[in-house]
Structure 1
Amino acid sequence: MASKNIKKITEYLEKIVNEPLEHIVSERFARYSKYIIQDRALPDARDGLKPVQRRILFAMNELGMQHNKPYKKSARIAGEVMGKYHPHGDSSIYDAMVRMSQDFKMLVPLIDMHGNNGSIDGDSAAAMRYTEARLSLAAEYLLKDIDKKTVPFVPNFDDEELEPTVLPSKFPNILVNGSKGISAGYATNIPPHNLNEVVNATIAFLDDEEISDSKLISYIKGPDFPTGGIVQGKEGIKEALKTGSGKIIIRARTFIEEMARNQERIVITEIPYELNKAELVRSIDMLRVDKKIDDILEVRDETDQQGMRIAIELKKGADANFILNYLYKSTDLQISYNYNMTAILNRRPYQVGVKPLLKAYIDHQKEVITNRSNFELDKAKKREHIVEGLIKMVSVLEEIIKIIRKSSNKADSKENIQKRFGFTDLQAEAIVTLQLYRLSNTDILALQAEAGELAKKIRFLNEILSDERVLKEVIKEELQFSKEKLGQKRKTTIEDEIESIKIDERDLISDENVIIGVTKDGYVKRSSLRSYQASQTIGLKTDDGLIFHREISNLDTLLIFTNLGNYIYVPVYKIDDQRWRDLGVYIGNIVPVEASERIISVINVREFNEDINLLLATKNGYMKQTKLKDFEVSRYSKAIRGMRLQKDDELVSVNMNQKENIIGLSKQGYALRFKTADLPEYGSSAGGVQGMMISDDDELVEAFYAFDSDDFVMLTVRGHIIKDNVSELTVYSRNRKGIRIVENLKSNPHYIVSAARLSKYQEKENVKSLLTSTKQTYEVTVSEYKYSYNKYGKKMFDENVEKGYKIFIEDAIDEVPVVIKKKPEKIIFDEINAVVEEEKIINKNKKIHLSRLDLFEDD
Structure 2
Amino acid sequence: MTEIDDDTSPDQPRSTTEPLRRALGSRYLQYALSTIMHRALPDARDGLKPVHRRILFAMRELKLASNGRFRKSSKISGDVMGNYHPHGDTAIYDAMARLAQDFNVRYPLVDGQGNFGNIDGDNPAASRYTEARLTAAAEALLEGLNEDAVDFRDNYDGTLQEPVVLPAAFPNLLANGSSGIAVGMATNIPPHNIDELVAASLHLIKTPDARDETLLNYVPGPDFPTGGIIVEPKENILKAYETGRGSFRLRCKWEVEDLGRGTWQIVITEIPYQVAKSKLIEKIAEIIQLKKVPLLADVRDESADDIRLILEPRSKNVDPEMLMGMMFRNSDLEIRFSLNMNVLIDGVTPKVCSLKEVLRAFLDHRRDVLQRRSRYRLAQIDKRLEVLEGYIIAFLNLDRVIQIIRTEDDPKAVMLAEDWGGGVFLNDNQVEAILNMRLRSLRRLEEMELRKERDDLRAEREGLVELLGSDDLQWARISDELKEVRKQFGKKTELGARRTQFAEATEIEDVPLEMMIDREPITVVCSKMGWVRAMKGHLALDTALKFKDGDEGRFVFHAETTDRLLVLGTNGRFYTISAANLPGGRGMGEPLRLMVDLPNEAEIVDMFIHKPGRKLLIASSAGDGFIAPEDDIVAQTRSGKQVLNVKDDVRAKICKPVDGDHVAVVGENRKVLVFAIEELPEMSRGKGVRLQKYKDGGLSDATTFTLANGLAWKDPAGRTRTETDLGEWIGKRATAGRMAPRGFPRDNTFT
Q: Following the alignment from structure 1 to structure 2, what is the Cα–Cα distance between the partners of residues 389 and 539?
A: 115
AA paired with 2:286?
M
C-alpha distance in 2 between matches for 1:414 and 1:533? 125
TM-score by length of 1: 0.75
For residues 585-596 of structure 1, the aligned pairs below 5 Å read 585=593, 590=597
Tell me, yes or no, if the aligned pair for 1:230 and 1:253 is still in contact at 8 Å: yes
Deviates more, 1:132-141 or 1:577-586: 577-586
| 1:475 is the counterpart of 2:478 | yes
The alignment status of 1:517 with 2:526, answered yes or no, reads yes
Structure 1 position 108, deviation (Å): 0.9
- Aligned partner of 2:526: which letter? G
Given the alignment, which residue of 441, 445, 454 partners 2:457?
454
Residue 354 of structure 1 pairs with residue 355 of structure 2: yes
1:87 equivalent to 2:86? Answer yes
What secondary structure does 1:755 align onto? coil
Q: AA paired with 1:477?
A: D
> How far apart in 2 are the matches of 1:538 and 1:28?
71
2:265 aligns with: 265
CA contact (8 A) 2:616 2:658 kept: yes
Are 1:493 and 2:493 counterparts? no
Residue 614 of structure 1 aligns with an amino acid whose one-letter code is: L
CA pair 709-221 structure 1, distance change in 2 beyond 3 A = closer
Higher mean C-alpha displacement, 287-296 vs 428-437: 287-296
Cα distance, 1:410–1:552 mapped onto 2, change above 3 Å: farther
Maintained 8 Å contact 2:525/2:535:
no
- Cα separation, 2, equivalents of 1:210 and 1:377: 32
Taking structure 1 as reference, are residues 443 and 628 closer, same or farther at Cα in structure 2, changes over 3 Å only?
Answer: closer
Q: In the alignment, which of 640, 643, 650 is matched to residue 641 of structure 1?
A: 643
1:42, 1:356 → 2: CA distance?
16
For the Cα contact (< 8 Å) 1:539–1:582, is it kept in 2? no
Against the structure 1 CA distance between its residues 116 and 210, is the aligned structure 2 distance closer, same or farther, given a 3 Å change threshold?
same
Which residue is equivalent to 1:800?
none
Structure 1: how far apart are the matches of 2:548 and 2:650? 37
Assess, with a 3 A threshold, how the Cα gap between structure 1 residues 298 and 699 changes in structure 2: closer, same or farther: closer
Provide Cα deviations, 1:387-414, integer angstroms capped at 9, x if missing partner: 2222232222233222222123553564
Aligned counterpart, 1:411: 412
Give the CA deviation at 1:262. Answer: 0.6
Give the conservation status (yes or no) of the 8 Å contact 2:58–2:79.
yes
| Counterpart Cα distance in 1 of 2:546 and 2:156 | 75
CA distance in structure 1 between the partners assigned to 2:625 and 2:290 by the alignment: 43
Letter aligned with residue 568 of structure 1: F
Q: Mark the CA change 1:533 to 1:182 in structure 2 (over 3 Å): closer, same or farther.
A: farther
Task: Name the aligned partner's letter for residue 275 of structure 1.
Answer: V
Q: Distance in 1 between matches of 2:590 and 2:16?
A: 66
Report if aligned partners of 1:614, 1:654 keep a CA contact under 8 Å in 2: yes
Q: Contact 1:667 / 1:699 at 8 angstroms: preserved in 2?
A: yes
**Residue 620 of structure 2 corresponds to residue 614 of structure 1:** no
Superposed counterparts of 1:49-68, under 5 Å: 49-68=48-67
Distance in 2, matches of 1:618 and 1:591, equals 18
Q: Which amino acid aligns with 1:570?
A: T
Q: What's 2:300 paired with?
A: 300
> Superposition pairs for residues 8-407 of structure 1, below 5 Å?
22-233=21-232, 234-293=234-293, 295-305=295-305, 307-315=306-314, 317-319=316-318, 320-346=320-346, 347-407=348-408
Partner of 1:793: none
The structure-2 alpha-carbon separation of the partners of 1:216 and 1:695, relative to structure 1 and needing over 3 Å to count, comes to closer
Which string of whole-angstrom CA distances, capped at 9 and with x for unpartnered residues, describes residues 691-747 of structure 1? 6x5453464311124696986358xxxxxx786753357322343755434899xxx
> Aligned letter for 2:502?
I
Given the two structures, how large is their TM-score scaled by the length of structure 2?
A: 0.85
- Distance in 2 of aligned mates of 1:454 and 1:184: 52
Paired amino acid for 2:498: R
Number of aligned residues: 714
Deviation at 1:45? 0.6
Bigger mean CA deviation after superposition, 264-273 or 676-685: 676-685
- Would you say the 8 A contact 1:538–1:580 is kept in 2? no
Go from structure 1 to structure 2 and tell me whether the alpha carbon gap of 1:355 and 1:79 turns closer, same or farther (over 3 Å shift).
same
Q: Is 1:232–1:499's contact at 8 Å kept on the other side of the alignment?
A: no
Distance 1:533 1:388 in 2: 116
Change (3 A) 1:392 1:323: same
Q: Distance in 1 between matches of 2:677 and 2:157?
A: 93
Flag the 1:413–1:491 CA change in 2: closer, same or farther, 3 A.
farther
Check the 8 A contact 1:712/1:723 in 2, yes or no.
no
Aligned to 1:527: 533
Match of 2:119, SS state, is: coil
Residue in 1 that maps onto 2:540 = none
Counterpart for residue 783 of structure 1: none
Gap change, CA 1:405 and 1:638, over 3 Å in 2: same
* RMSD of aligned Cα (Å): 3.7
Q: Is the 8 A contact 1:576 1:585 kept in 2?
A: no
One-letter amino acid matched to 1:254? W
- Matched to 1:602, the amino acid is D
Q: Distance in 2 between matches of 1:352 and 1:710?
A: 73
Offset from partner CA, 1:256-291 (integer Å, 9 cap, x none): 110111101111111111111122223223333444
Alignment of 1:570 onto 2:576? yes
**Given the superposition, is the C-alpha separation of residues 679 and 194 from structure 1 closer, same or farther in structure 2, using an over 3 Å criterion?**
same
Q: Sort the Cα spacing of 1:290 and 1:641 in 2 relative to 1 into closer, same or farther, 3 A.
A: closer
Alignment of 1:755 with 2:743, yes or no, is no
Map residues 738-817 of structure 1 onto 2, 5 A cutoff.
739-741=738-740, 754-757=748-751
What are the Cα deviations for residues 429-487 of structure 1, in whole angstroms up to 9, with x where unaligned?
A: 22221111111354333222212211111111112222222121121111111111122
Distance 1:408 1:496 in 2: 87
How far does the alpha carbon of each residue in 1:162-205 deviate from its partner, in whole angstroms, 9 at most, with x for none? 11110111111101111011111111100011101111111222
Amino acid at match of 1:537: K
Following superposition, the deviation at residue 25 of structure 1 comes to 3.7
The answer to whether the 8 A contact 1:181-1:187 is kept is yes
| CA–CA separation in structure 2 for the residues paired with 1:362 and 1:576 | 63
* CA–CA separation in structure 2 for the residues paired with 1:573 and 1:21: 65
Please tell me whether the aligned partners of residues 668 and 699 of structure 2 are also in contact (alpha carbons under 8 angstroms). Answer: yes
CA contact (8 A) 1:666 1:752 kept: no
For 1:55 and 1:329, the matched residues in 2 are separated by 42
**SS of structure 2 residue aligned to 1:66:** coil
**Residue identity in the other structure for 2:167:** P
Q: Which moves more between the two structures, 731-740 or 212-221?
A: 731-740
DSSP 3-state at the match of 1:158: coil
Of residues 421, 427, 430, the one that matches 1:427 is 430
Residue 722 of structure 2 aligns to a residue whose secondary structure is helix
Deviations 1:676-701 (A, max 9, x none): 7777773445887776x545346431
CA distance in 2, matches of 1:368, 1:120: 37
Q: Which runs of 5+ in 1 are unaligned?
A: 1-13, 715-720, 745-749, 758-859
Q: Does 1:727 align with 2:734?
A: no
* Displacement of 1:155: 0.7
Task: Structure 2: state its 5+ residue gaps.
Answer: 1-12, 491-495, 537-542
Deviation at 1:139, TM superposition (A): 0.7
- 1:831 aligns with none
| Aligned residues of 1:619 and 1:700 also touching (Cα < 8 A) | yes
The answer as to whether partners of 1:227 and 1:491 remain within 8 angstroms in 2 is yes
Asked whether 1:444 is paired with 2:464, we answer no
How far did residue 208 of structure 1 move? 2.4
The 5 Å alignment of 1:528-677 reads 528-529=534-535, 536-537=547-548, 548=555, 552-561=559-568, 566-573=572-579, 580=588, 584-585=592-593, 590=597, 601-608=605-612, 610=613, 612-617=614-619, 628-629=630-631, 631-632=633-634, 637-641=639-643, 652-656=653-657, 658=659, 662-672=663-673
Inter-partner Cα distance in structure 1 for 2:617 and 2:314: 44
Distance 1:686 1:313 in 2: 44
Answer with 653-662 or 451-460: which moved more: 653-662
After superposition, the Cα gap between the structure-2 partners of 1:628 and 1:205, relative to the gap in structure 1 and judged at 3 Å, is closer
